[in-house]
Amino acid sequence: MSGALLPPHLHRYLDSLVPPRPAELAAMEEEAARTRFPIIGPAAGQCCYLIARMIGARRVFEMGSGFGYSTAWFARAVAENGGGEVFHVVWDEALSARARAHLDALGLGAVVRYRVGEAVATLRETPGPFDLIFNDIDKPAYPDSLGVIASRLRPGGVLIADNMLWDGRIFDAADRSASTEAIRELTRRVTADPGWIATIVPIRDGLLVAVRRET
């Protein structure tokens, strides 16, 4: 389970610092817990919201959006920044419909654009630039997604990638699975590239936060 690297009391403490959420967002958290659907959770959601507010994000692209939980945090930030667009992208029509229902109930539907398809291809087909791109796609695709992300992110824009600690599997030298190796490779590429300023925030399962340098 994501978040297992944090001691339970620390995980609970970080979540407790997040202000109360609207009833619909709280219901989404309960749904995810009940069905074991992976979401970023309150502390990581608040972090994403904070970053989007800090940079004044008006255009956000999500790669792998689930049933709209992370989208809600970004959409709230964009709405408070004066309006704009948040692209919700998933493979599955049913997930897209569930997200639309949740986000409409939260009053955030006006800033969300729904796309059903493969996330990297959809980003490649969508005109930029974006202020923020959130990456939570299938992990083996992480390294190859970076070039498309960089081409669509404005200078000074932010990339956030989820699951960068991968429940501790990245620390196991014997783990050479495709997903684990892909996370290691994305981390190496971003942190070694002078075009990015990056760190990993160890909230929940680890968020890579990287700013594209202005040239």
pLDDT in tens, 21-36: 999 999 999 999 999 9
In a domain, 154, yes or no: yes
In a domain, 125, yes or no: yes
In a domain, 2, yes or no: no
Indicate the pLDDT class of residue 2, thresholds 50, 70 and 90: low
CATH number at residue 17: 3.40.50.150
Tell me the average pLDDT across 104-130: 97
pTM of this prediction?
0.95
Pairing of strands 207-212, 153-161: antiparallel
In a domain, 69, yes or no: yes
Contacts 24+ apart (CB under 8 A), 16-25: 17/43, 17/46, 18/42, 18/43, 18/45, 18/46, 19/46, 22/106, 24/102, 24/105, 24/106, 25/69, 25/72, 25/106
The total of structural domains in the chain comes to 1
* Domain limits for position 134: 8-212
Report pLDDT for 93.
95
Report pLDDT for 7.
86
In a domain, 1, yes or no: no
pLDDT in tens, 47-61: 999 999 999 999 999
Indicate the pLDDT class of residue 184, thresholds 50, 70 and 90: very high
